[in-house]
Amino acid sequence: ITTVLQMVVNSIDYGMNVAEATNAPRFHHQWLPDELRVEKGFSPDTLKLLEAKGQKVALKEAMGSTQSIMVGPDGELYGASDPRSVDDLTAGY
């Protein structure tokens, strides 16, 4: 659910295309254990600010995987296969 939400937010709120949204670093707050899991790619300053606010930040290799197709402003279909999973494919018809 976290991965799908971040794809939607990155696309709609931040104007990323499907490839940019797919490749953007991800985060997830885990309840047990209570920690904020993040992928590489977030600013070290941001991580320090989160830790200063009491977040237990844990660096994770990869989180989630998406195979996405977006309808562009021109009506064309654009796909992106998540590099976090090997041997996956995005296909549309």
What is the per-residue pLDDT across 70-81, written as a single tens digit (0 to 9) for each?
999 999 999 999
Question: How many whole angstroms separate alpha carbon 42 and alpha carbon 5?
Answer: 18
The pTM of this model reads 0.88
CATH 3.60.20.40 for domain 2-65, yes or no, is yes
Listed in sequence order, the residues at least 6 apart from 41 whose beta carbon sits closer than 8 Å to its beta carbon are: 24, 25
Per-residue model confidence as pLDDT tens digits over 51-69: 999 999 999 999 999 999 9
Domain locations in the chain as residue ranges: 2-65
- Give the ranges where 1-93 is alpha helix by DSSP (H): 2-12, 18-23, 44-52
